[in-house]
Structure 1
Amino acid sequence: MHPRDQDPTAIPHRYAVLADIDLDDPELRHRLDAIAERTAQRLGQPIGLVSMVLNTAQVFPGSYGLQGWLAEMAGTPIEWSFCVNAVTSGAPYVVPDATTDIKQADNPLVTIDRVRSYAGVPIIVDGAILGAHCVLGPDPRAFTPADLDELRRGADEISALLQAYRSR
């Protein structure tokens, strides 16, 4: 499901919550980067992200391990987003081997940038699913319940942090 296909009554609240957070605040970004780094290191993955899913793109206000164009752009088109699946389902989304996954095998992040594994959990603020806290890697990987618990702890910390940076 695409974010624009979600329950139309939920979308205005989601975007109102997102608009109420200054994602460009340098201290907030520094703290989000630290959470992304800690989670990636604990899970042994080279990339950790805090992703905010918009209607046509995802942006990364917090990241660790990004290189090249992904680091420069700090986001992707929504069509390339793994995280959109955690947002639209409201549940963890796991891809052990993206090259064999029917949803992801043709994704440019897989075919060009060589992402092979992904695990992400929703980030929820004031009842709105804003994005996902995730890790990505260049090798296939089976993520365990303990891995998802670690992602959830990070997502809960991110949610509290974003709530603290809300202007209302």
Structure 2
Amino acid sequence: MSEHREQERERDQVSQNEWVHWLEEVLESAPAEEDDVLFASARLGAIAALGADDVERVQPLVGELLTGAAQDVGTPVSLANVVLSGVQVIAGEHGLAGWMAQARATPAEWSLCATVVRRGEAYVVPDMAADEATAQNPLHLVDGFRSYAGVPLTAPDGQVIGSVCVLDTEVRRYSEADLDVLRAVAAETTRRMAGAGEVTPGTGAPAA
């Protein structure tokens, strides 16, 4: 039985990776905008150097951190998103369900975390329905998310590679204390990605 589950898990991982690669090819076929930081080679190089978009590697490192973030802020979902030029990879998650949990990626054009990357600072949307920038976003219209708060996820060289964020299905205002929780999780996420070799089973922590 356990061998069967392992085979299913491996098939799911292959399917997920194929989906992400296909999505990258489709979305990145459009010409790069020279002034768009998402396309900056130094930033993309920092992502590659960290292996930050490797879901299978990153999830065990940061899952417990994201669970804590969701609990502390009081939201059902917390994510560590890595934003490539055309695709947002959900490298770590807590509370995600549905197609996003299966695909572990979205188009970058849907990504609120892409705004964090472009601005290099926290981005908060108390009510997606009332905000012109997000009212038509499929994450709101299709998936039912209503509010968002994200802070920069920064590589050791200072490049903003994505965001640690929380999502809620309710309208809500996020406090500076909430953002501080996310900042602490983002800093620890970077530390773990940069310093991780093997992960100690059951802990999510790098092995000594």
TM-score by length of 1: 0.90
Q: What is the alpha-carbon distance in structure 1 between the residues aligned to residue 75 and residue 164 of structure 2? A: 13
Quote how far apart the aligned CAs of 1:27 are. 5.2
Q: What is the alpha-carbon distance in structure 2 between the residues aligned to residue 122 and residue 14 of structure 1? A: 13
Residue in structure 1 matched with residue 182 of structure 2 by the alignment:
151
Q: 2:127 touches 2:171 (CA, 8 Å); kept in 1?
A: yes
Residue in structure 1 matched with residue 191 of structure 2 by the alignment:
160
Q: Report the residue type matching 1:124 in the other structure.
A: T
Quote how far apart the aligned CAs of 1:29 are. 1.9
Larger Rg: 2
Residue in structure 2 matched with residue 104 of structure 1 by the alignment:
134
Gaps of 5+ in 1: none
Residue in structure 2 matched with residue 21 of structure 1 by the alignment:
50
Q: What is the alpha-carbon distance in structure 2 between the residues aligned to residue 149 and residue 28 of structure 1? A: 22
Q: 2:37 touches 2:118 (CA, 8 Å); kept in 1?
A: no
Q: 1:21 touches 1:165 (CA, 8 Å); kept in 2?
A: no
Gaps of 5+ in 2: 1-31, 198-208
Q: What is the alpha-carbon distance in structure 1 between the residues aligned to residue 34 and residue 169 of structure 2? A: 30
1:48 to 73, 78, 91: 78
| SS of structure 2 residue aligned to 1:155 | helix
| SS of structure 1 residue aligned to 2:64 | helix
Residue in structure 1 matched with residue 36 of structure 2 by the alignment:
6
Q: What is the alpha-carbon distance in structure 2 between the residues aligned to residue 76 and residue 18 of structure 1? A: 17
Residue in structure 1 matched with residue 94 of structure 2 by the alignment:
64
TM-score by length of 2: 0.73
1:139 aligned onto 2:170: yes
Q: What is the alpha-carbon distance in structure 1 between the residues aligned to residue 55 and residue 74 of structure 2? A: 28
| SS of structure 1 residue aligned to 2:40 | helix
Question: Which structure carries more relative contact order (alpha carbon 8 Å, separation 6+)?
Answer: 1
Higher share of residues assigned helix = 2
Q: How many pairs does the alignment contain?
A: 164
Residue in structure 1 matched with residue 61 of structure 2 by the alignment:
31
Superposed CA RMSD in Å reads: 2.1
Quote how far apart the aligned CAs of 1:25 are. 7.0
Q: Flag the 1:28–1:3 CA change in 2: closer, same or farther, 3 A.
A: farther
Q: Report the residue type matching 1:103 in the other structure.
A: A
1:117 aligned onto 2:154: no
